[in-house]
Structure 1
Amino acid sequence: MRAFKVLLLLVITVSLLTGCWNRIEVNDIAIVTAIGLDLVDDDMIRLSLQVAIPAKLGPAGGSTGGSKGRSTFVISEKGVTVSEAYKNLQMKLSRRIFFSQSRVLLIGEALAKKGISNIIDFYTRFHQPRMNSFIMFTKGSASEVIKNIPNLENVSSEETKELAKLSVGIKVYVRDFLNMLLTDGLEPFAPQYKLTSLEVNTENNSAQVQVINGVAVFKKDKLIGWLDDSETRGLLWLRNEIEEGVISIKIPKEKGGGNISFEIIRADTKIIPHLNNGKIKFNVNVTSEIIVIENASKLVLFNQKEIDGIQTDIEKEIKDRIQMVLDKAQKEYQSDIFGFGQAVYREYPKVWNTIYKKKWDQEYPQLEVTINPKVFVRRIGLSK
């Protein structure tokens, strides 16, 4: 009996040392770093993959700045669905397509307008693509945009990921977009991604750089419009997602002219619904703390009267930005990207389920919303 136990232990130990039977060697896979999706003329989906060239990802072979080499290449194929396009592409590659390292999903405008529920469905069913990938939309062709040569990183998708992580604009993961699609009283939105020119000290004097600027607005799973940069700031205020930023105000000529810039150090927004006689109204209370980072005016900021006036001016600026994006979302797009319906559900769940849930599309454009900003200047610096 003792000998049998020893033999059994030996067999188990040996079996544990045999390694992974289904492992895949790095030399056998094509590592995808970004995914682009477009709608093509014959009503099919074009899948474009940015694939890494492993030999050029190291310090010696990477393509940064003005380097002529490229550390990635882009391949494309069509299909009636994303999965069919993927299979058609796989048949033309000698290596197995490996999605797990991709952190960027970029979708072109034409496809987004048609609807992207099938794309999100592919992400949730297929085990490789990551739900914590950043989802973005572009007015151009996604396949062309992901061909961009990066300036600071080896791979352009790495630049895209780092831009999104800076928290200077809207940041949305695929899982967030899915949650917005499934949540009553909230419509989806995601960042707008584009390329723009930047002056640099090179022979060409300019370079194409990536910009995450603006927002794609959805109704259900279909793109219905865009917000510009200024409107996006209003969206961030309303959704309590302002993490950092600068506000500048212009000083009137009668006070000496010039400008003063402030850095946001804290911001808090609360959306509060009130139910009176069967009618829903909202208060949006915005509290912000700021510090002076530049005074290019003749105002003496040690004067409390001047500080009070500045706080009033900034409160008006914040209110105007929020009102601008609120008007556009309510009247033009009729898309509740702010989650007002969700706020009603949290505060009055029974009323939401019995009355508002079925007719929120009709109620939302008529909502009465009062914006109450409050600003505090916490530090003004030492110089006059």
Structure 2
Amino acid sequence: MINRTMLLAVSLLMLIMSSGCLGKQEINDLAIVTAVGIDNGENNHVKLSVQIVRPADARGQTGAPSGGTGEPIYSIQATGRTIFEAARNLARFSSRRVYWAHNFVIVLGEGYARKGIADMIDFFTRNHELRMTTWVVVTPEEAGQVIATITGMEVVPGEAIDKLFRYNQIVAEAPGTNMMRLQESFLAEGTEPVLAKVQLRPRGISNKNPDQFGSLDQVVLSGAAVFEGDKMKGWLSPSEAKGLLPFIEEVDSEIMVINCPDDSNNHATLEIKSLEQRVKTRFVNNQVKVQVAQTANANLVEMGCEQPFTEIKDQMTLALKQKLENQVLKTASAAQKKYKSDIMKIGQVFHNTYPLEWKQIHSEWNRYFEKAEITVSADAKISSPVLKIQRFVKGDGLSLKSK
């Protein structure tokens, strides 16, 4: 009996050890995708572009291929009636199996996004290799061109866009939407999808042509694409995107430049260190009323005004409040009047407050949102983290005073 038990245990152990290698995939047999571009193709087809990293050529730390053996990325493109058919057709050009697990970003061309992205959401959420944290963006240019352009300080363009999102909160001009958030906003009632906007802009300077500014294209992350359902309706400007962000994600930092009191030629720069927002809805006489309240704490980081900070602090605080309020109202105007799309998640707030009324009007929510009365109030506090209370002037060593 003991011998049989030992024999069975040894057999099971050998089976486990041998089966562990059955599904192995050698890295040399994989085409590792780091960025995906989707555009409209001819004859109502989908044009799928993928950026494949070449590990042997992407090891250099300065942006140049190591040893001069080749380019760090390899881009291929295929078309199909569906995304999956186009993905399978990539095998015509790739000597390795396309592997999606390390993809950083999905770039959608504007034409494709306006036609509808439901099939893209369906395909990539069903793909077991794709991470739901993959960024999704829209470009007014050709998506295939964006993912094929080596930009910035990174060797791999897909990684460059990924790192732009990591530090995007410093500027706060574009939403950080990944596949999980896109799927959520697409399937949920009371909100519409919004994706970041990326563009190629001549910003870099080539080492070979240091006197020619803009000789290298760079990826710029700023603004947003507005959707209704799965179809893109238009763009939000960077300032409109700023006003939208508190409604859909946390804002950790933001820069505000305000005019000096009685001197519009000079400016002071404020860094918002915390921004809290509360949204309340009311339903009065079959009309939706929305109250938005913001509380901001800001630091004075650059002083260009002639007057000492202590003398104009109240005026600067009032200017900051007005700027915060106008920023939200500008975004609300674009959402209500221009696009008639609830990208501000007002519907979700209304649903939580009035669940019974929501059942009656949810099918016509965008019409109610379009006519909703939105009011904004902001409260702000400004402090100076340094002892200097006025602008720096040559020889003014005695103006260091406590706040």
Kept after mapping to 2: 8 A contact 1:62/1:69: no
Q: CA deviation at 1:13?
A: 2.0
Q: CA deviation at 1:60?
A: 7.1
- Counterparts of 1:255 and 1:301, CA distance in 2: 14
Kept after mapping to 1: 8 A contact 2:288/2:369: no
Q: CA deviation at 1:68?
A: 9.9
- Counterparts of 1:58 and 1:158, CA distance in 2: 14
Question: What whole-Å deviation, never above 9, does each CA across 1:237-259 have from its counterpart, x for those lacking one?
Answer: 4445322121111114x459521
> Pairwise mapping of residues 34-73 of structure 1 onto structure 2 (< 5 A)?
34-59=35-60, 63=64, 69-73=70-74
Q: CA deviation at 1:201?
A: 6.4
> Pairwise mapping of residues 21-40 of structure 1 onto structure 2 (< 5 A)?
21-40=22-41
1:116–1:255 distance in 2 versus 1, CA, 3 Å = closer
1:38–1:256 distance in 2 versus 1, CA, 3 Å = closer
Aligned to 1:114: 115
Q: CA deviation at 1:90?
A: 1.5
Aligned to 1:360: 365
The correspondence for 1:327, drawn from 318, 333, 344, is 333
Aligned to 1:242: 251
1:87–1:294 distance in 2 versus 1, CA, 3 Å = same
- Counterparts of 1:251 and 1:68, CA distance in 2: 56
Question: What whole-Å deviation, never above 9, does each CA across 1:52-105 have from its counterpart, x for those lacking one?
Answer: 11211213795279x895200110011010001111111332211111111100
User: What is the identity, as a one-letter code, of the residue corresponding to 2:306?
Assistant: K
Aligned to 2:217: 208
Aligned to 2:351: 345
Deviates more, 1:40-49 or 1:86-95: 86-95
1:78–1:284 distance in 2 versus 1, CA, 3 Å = same
- Counterparts of 2:119 and 2:271, CA distance in 1: 42
User: What is the identity, as a one-letter code, of the residue corresponding to 1:371?
Assistant: V
- Counterparts of 2:163 and 2:138, CA distance in 1: 17
> Pairwise mapping of residues 178-327 of structure 1 onto structure 2 (< 5 A)?
178-200=183-205, 202-204=207-209, 205=212, 206=214, 207-239=216-248, 241-252=250-261, 254=262, 258-303=266-311, 306-327=312-333
1:256–1:209 distance in 2 versus 1, CA, 3 Å = closer
Q: CA deviation at 1:224?
A: 0.6
User: What is the identity, as a one-letter code, of the residue corresponding to 2:55?
Assistant: P
Kept after mapping to 1: 8 A contact 2:40/2:46: yes
User: What is the identity, as a one-letter code, of the residue corresponding to 1:223?
Assistant: M
> Pairwise mapping of residues 57-206 of structure 1 onto structure 2 (< 5 A)?
57-59=58-60, 63=64, 69-168=70-169, 169-200=174-205, 202-204=207-209, 205=212, 206=214
- Counterparts of 1:17 and 1:69, CA distance in 2: 39
Aligned to 2:4: 4
Aligned to 1:15: 15
User: What is the identity, as a one-letter code, of the residue corresponding to 2:372?
Assistant: L
1:81–1:26 distance in 2 versus 1, CA, 3 Å = same
1:88–1:49 distance in 2 versus 1, CA, 3 Å = same
Kept after mapping to 2: 8 A contact 1:64/1:153: no
Kept after mapping to 1: 8 A contact 2:321/2:378: yes
Q: Could you tell me the TM-score, scaled by structure 2's length? A: 0.89
Gaps of 5+ in 1: none
Q: CA deviation at 1:380?
A: 5.1
Q: Could you tell me the TM-score, scaled by structure 1's length? A: 0.94
1:106–1:10 distance in 2 versus 1, CA, 3 Å = same
Deviates more, 1:214-223 or 1:69-78: 69-78
Aligned to 2:401: none
1:287–1:111 distance in 2 versus 1, CA, 3 Å = same
- Counterparts of 2:89 and 2:296, CA distance in 1: 53
- Counterparts of 1:288 and 1:60, CA distance in 2: 40
Superposed CA RMSD in Å reads 2.0
1:61–1:379 distance in 2 versus 1, CA, 3 Å = closer
- Counterparts of 1:71 and 1:284, CA distance in 2: 48
- Counterparts of 2:26 and 2:43, CA distance in 1: 38
State the secondary structure of the residue aligned to 1:361: helix
Kept after mapping to 2: 8 A contact 1:64/1:150: no
Kept after mapping to 2: 8 A contact 1:106/1:142: yes
- Number of positions where the alignment pairs a residue of Structure 1 with one of Structure 2: 379
Kept after mapping to 2: 8 A contact 1:251/1:297: yes
- Counterparts of 1:373 and 1:60, CA distance in 2: 46
State the secondary structure of the residue aligned to 2:310: coil
